[in-house]
Amino acid sequence: MTATVPTRTSTMRAAVQRRYAGPEEIHVETVEAPTPGPGEVLIEVRAAGVDRGVWHLMTGRPLVMRAMGFGLRRPRQPIAGEDVAGVVVGIGAGVTGFSLGDEVLGAAKGSYAQHAVAKEDKLVRKPSSLSFEEAAVLPVSGVTALRAVERAGISTGQRVLVLGASGGVGSYAVQLAVATGARVTGVASAAKAELVRSLGAEDVIDYRTTDVTSLDLEFDAILDIGGLTPLRRLRKVLSPTGTLVIVGGEGGDALTGGVGRQLVAGLVSLFTRQTLASFVALTAAEPLEVLVARIVAGDIRPALTRTYPLAEAGTAIVDLAAGRIAGKAAVVVGG
């Protein structure tokens, strides 16, 4: 869908962060607007998604990520945000898939700003059934959930456990598994249980009062998205030939963030009939097209529950890290 092309300007307002720290270091400033290079488009940002990756980039935690190219002493990308939805207002050399005025969603580093540049192959057209705010919360969490469900090989009639069902990734994972015909049990805090049920989960277990791995239950697939439940406990409630997919979990050590579970899972998987897997999802046009098709078909919908103005981008990230956001939240930039 296309819209009237907004006017480009040489400066813009952006949520800028010049060193790793808390939200007090994120200030909305006037900075130079970016220009699209070859294969890139310039987007007038209408909304940007809030997700755990933004928190990791704000704090520089776990420390290992600083050595992975994100900036040793300060964020290499000083403008926060990655998920984006907006209108194409500039086209770089060689771009063939988009035109001025196209409404798009995808990944653009530095999306907490009035303008952001995105690679053509990380964008898709926004379906008209989604608002910009809803579209902005699809990319990172939606693609991660899609990859998790694919990796678990979930099929009709399977019993699936989703740990972290009320969060960004979990809210899509529950819907995708249910749409495949699976029977989903979600693990989440009691305050967000209703949201998880509304996404299609048959049961919701509160991790604060009940350890799901101590129950007499068995699942064909487990998507481990929240908490850092030890591997051996997860395996107790996984069927003998079931698949565990470790997506992530917060609260690990400062250096690695608890990624050791993924490494151990890969090793243990060699010696058991259970499949224990992990992966790193990359936001790209191909999985985004799949998700958009699922949205158009009515299978899934972004669980957007909260929005913040650009000036409160730091607060949004803090609220996410504190567990105050159910499903997804968006930073509203303009339009």
Q: Is 187 a binder of ligand NAP (CB under 6 A)?
A: yes
Q: Is 170 a binder of ligand NAP (CB under 6 A)?
A: yes
3-state secondary structure of 318: helix
Measured from the CB atom, is 46 or 192 closer to ligand NAP?
Answer: 192
User: What is the smallest separation between the CB atom of 208 and ligand NAP, expressed in angstroms?
Assistant: 8
> Among the candidate windows 2-10, 117-125, 234-242, 244-252, which touches ligand NAP by CB under 6 A?
244-252
Q: Is 304 a binder of ligand NAP (CB under 6 A)?
A: no
User: What is the smallest separation between the CB atom of 323 and ligand NAP, expressed in angstroms?
Assistant: 4
Which pairs from 259-262 meet CB under 8 Å and 24+ separation?
A: 259/62, 259/64, 261/228, 261/230, 261/231
Measured from the CB atom, is 34 or 60 closer to ligand NAP?
Answer: 60
User: What is the smallest separation between the CB atom of 106 and ligand NAP, expressed in angstroms?
Assistant: 15
User: For residues 12 and 258, what is the distance between their CA atoms, to the nearest angstrom?
Assistant: 38
The contact mask relative to ligand NAP for 50-79 (x = CB under 6 A, - = no) is -xx---------------------------
Q: Under a CB-based contact definition with an 8 Å cutoff, are residues 100 and 89 in contact? A: yes
User: What is the smallest separation between the CB atom of 253 and ligand NAP, expressed in angstroms?
Assistant: 14
| Residue 209: exposure state from Cβ atoms within 10 A (0-12, 13-18, ≥19) | exposed
Residues between 142 and 161 that touch ligand NAP (CB under 6 A): 144
What are the tokens at 125?
């057209």
Measured from the CB atom, is 114 or 171 closer to ligand NAP?
Answer: 171
What are the tokens at 51?
């997700």
Measured from the CB atom, is 83 or 102 closer to ligand NAP?
Answer: 83
Q: What are the CA-CA distances from residue 316 to residues 59, 149, 181, 225, 290 (Å)?
A: 14, 28, 34, 20, 28
Helical axes 313-321 vs 52-59, angle rounded to 10°: 110
Residue 98 corresponds to which amino acid?
Answer: F
| Residue 302: exposure state from Cβ atoms within 10 A (0-12, 13-18, ≥19) | buried
The binder of ligand NAP chosen from 166, 180, 185, 243 (CB under 6 A): 166
Residues between 188 and 217 that touch ligand NAP (CB under 6 A): 188-189, 192, 207
Q: Is 250 a binder of ligand NAP (CB under 6 A)?
A: yes
Q: Is 226 a binder of ligand NAP (CB under 6 A)?
A: yes
Positive or negative, the CA dihedral 288, 250, 299, 304 is negative
Q: Is 332 a binder of ligand NAP (CB under 6 A)?
A: no
3-state secondary structure of 119: strand
State the residues that interact with ligand NAP by CB under 6 A.
51-52, 140-141, 144, 163-170, 187-189, 192, 207, 225-227, 247-250, 279-281, 320, 323
